[in-house]
Amino acid sequence: MTAESQWLNVQDIAEMLQVKDETVRRWIRRRELPVLELGGPRAGYRIRRDDLDHFIWQRYRMRNQDDSDRGVRTELASSSDDSAAHSTVRVEAVEDERGRVSQRLSIEAQGGDAGTSISTRDPDAQQDSPYVSLMRRIPGITYVTSANPETGEGVRRRIAFISEQFENLLGGASAQLRESDQAWWEKVHPEDRERVQASRMHSFRTGERLSIEYRILPPGGAPVWVRDEAVLGDDTGGGQPVWQGIVSNISDRKRVEDALQARVRQQEVVAELGEHALRHVDVRTLLNEAVQYVSQTLGTQLVMILELQPGGETLLVRAGVGWRPGTVGRATISAGAASPAGYTLLSNEPVIVTDLLQETRFSAPPLLRDHGARSGISAIIAGYSKPFGVIGAHTPSLRQFTVDDVNFLQSVANVLASATMVAAKYPDGSQWLSIRDVADTLRVKEETVRRWIRRGELPVIDLGSARAGYRIHPSDLEQFINDRYMKP
């Protein structure tokens, strides 16, 4: 098991905490440890790393003590269900006469080994204790910092203890933080600092557990998303209260959430565009709406819809976003294989361009080159006897487009294809019918209408999503009825 593992099984946790598998299962049965049940005895359970972190802090009793040498001491008491032994692990941060901070772990055992006291800076000594190994293997940053009773903020005050995982997970030397937590505060993303400060103040005033997600800026790297959970320690020694907490790296989870949110938004856009097409919006307006939707959803600065011109030699820019004045309605691109759009028409499938300057399948047309396009995707807008054209989205910076991005652009192209074909076939703008309209008219179930559609017996236009569904033109319904009408 690596530190990067997203899910843990029962055996992983038993090994990490040095208990029996049955002890972990008992926690699960008591609902003390959240799990994902995989549906069978062989598959068993899976536990999220974040939930294990929270479980550890919930199960171990943490207490702030006042030390004679002005150190902050955090006590973690554990009792195994599988033996009579009782152990106490104390994490101490001690100041010397020069104001320097050192760390010490003290372990006391009852019914087992004699108590020991070791320094966290002594790697050989740490290997002798399973408790120290546990602290070092927790997939998160544990810390103790003083809390300001005036504001509830832990900023601009000394961090009494911070675990070595800070260096492994986020980069930077924890020694800097022991001098002053200003170094930590400077790593919080500027856009998140006010929110973090407000959340700490609220937790201090109400006594509620702190739980907040924000970004950390590691040296020379991309922002890292973390979840910071902490509680206020008991002020039993007469000094100031402390925050006792753990910081977990949740960047992987955030990436998944962002991808899911982007996918949902893409589906919503396709549905909205399909509904606009049903309102008998003229093709020009629909094309202009489509390029705006694509630009906002994909975050692409350059979007265009190209219409294949009579003769099939050129493509005219019918709608666009990000182009210089005079481009839309005038500029043309070759429909041959030498251009990205022409290559898309000939390949009859979406095309992804990672770097237009390094592309070997075709060359960059002057229009794209003059606007600094580097990466892009394009898809065909179908037609009756020939394609209507191509829709393309480009960025001036290098970008890796995903399969979801391609599917989204193709779905938009399909909606536009249906709309342009309908406009060509039914220029009168007749009222379209839904599946429910047809079912009510013929007094049948909606599933019966869907069965006719699946069999290809009733012509429809597919609006590209389950929400938008299908639409049937009155003339097609009339023809369907005539074909099935039994005359005497």
Residue 234 within any structural domain of the chain: yes
Last residue of a domain, one of 425, 448, 472: 425
Our measurement of the distance from residue 55's CA atom to the centroid of its chain's CA atoms, rounded to an integer in Å, reads: 24
Q: What is the pLDDT of residue 236?
A: 44
Closest by CA position to 285, among listed 420, 422, 463, 464? 420
CB-based contact 93:79 (threshold 8 Å):
no
CA–CA dist 483, 475 (Å, integer): 12
If one counts every other C-beta atom within 10 angstroms of the C-beta of residue 362, the result is 20
Same domain for 43 and 116? no
Same domain for 196 and 285? no
Closest by CA position to 224, among listed 291, 170, 171? 170
CA–CA dist 59, 282 (Å, integer): 64
Same domain for 189 and 104? yes
If one counts every other C-beta atom within 10 angstroms of the C-beta of residue 138, the result is 19
Residue 319, exposed/middle/buried by CB under 10 A (0-12, 13-18, 19+)?
A: buried
Residue 2 within any structural domain of the chain: no
If one counts every other C-beta atom within 10 angstroms of the C-beta of residue 119, the result is 13
Same domain for 442 and 416? no
Same domain for 269 and 241? no
Q: What is the pLDDT of residue 5?
A: 46
What predicted TM-score, i.e. pTM, was given to this entire model?
A: 0.52
Q: What is the edge-to-edge ordering of all strands in the sheet holding 72-79?
A: 61-66, 72-79, 86-95, 101-110, 116-119
Q: What is the pLDDT of residue 481?
A: 82
Last residue of a domain, one of 385, 405, 425: 425
Our measurement of the distance from residue 226's CA atom to the centroid of its chain's CA atoms, rounded to an integer in Å, reads: 13
Q: What is the dihedral of CA 310, 315, 318, 323, to 10 degrees?
A: -160
Query: Angle at the Cα of 249 (from 244 to 253), degrees rounded to 5?
Result: 130
* DSSP H helices in 386-473: 403-425, 435-442, 446-454
Query: Who contacts 180 (Cβ-Cβ below 8 Å, separation ≥6)?
Result: 156, 157, 158, 159
Same domain for 284 and 203? no
End-to-end CA distance of the chain: 77
Phi-psi region of 107 (alpha: psi -120 to 50; beta: other; left: phi over 0): beta
Query: Who contacts 55 (Cβ-Cβ below 8 Å, separation ≥6)?
Result: 27, 32, 33, 34
Residue 276 within any structural domain of the chain: yes
CB-based contact 106:125 (threshold 8 Å):
no
Same domain for 290 and 238? no
Q: What is the pLDDT of residue 324?
A: 94
**Helix, strand, coil percentages, rounded to 5, for the chain:** 35, 25, 40
Q: What is the pLDDT of residue 383?
A: 86
Same domain for 401 and 331? yes
Residue 430 within any structural domain of the chain: no
Same domain for 187 and 64? yes
CA–CA dist 250, 256 (Å, integer): 10
Residue ranges of the chain with per-residue pLDDT less than 70: 1-6, 38-43, 57-137, 148-160, 168-183, 234-240, 278-281, 425-431, 463-468, 485-488
CA–CA dist 463, 287 (Å, integer): 15
Same domain for 274 and 328? yes
Same domain for 174 and 145? yes
Last residue of a domain, one of 425, 451, 470: 425
CATH number for 172: 3.30.450.20
**Number of domains observed in the structure of the chain:** 4
CATH number for 364: 3.30.450.40
Q: Which domain, by its residues, includes 474?
A: 435-484
Q: What is the pLDDT of residue 304?
A: 96
The pair of structure tokens assigned to 237 is 């020694």
Same domain for 199 and 149? yes
> Which residue is it, tokens 């598959």?
43
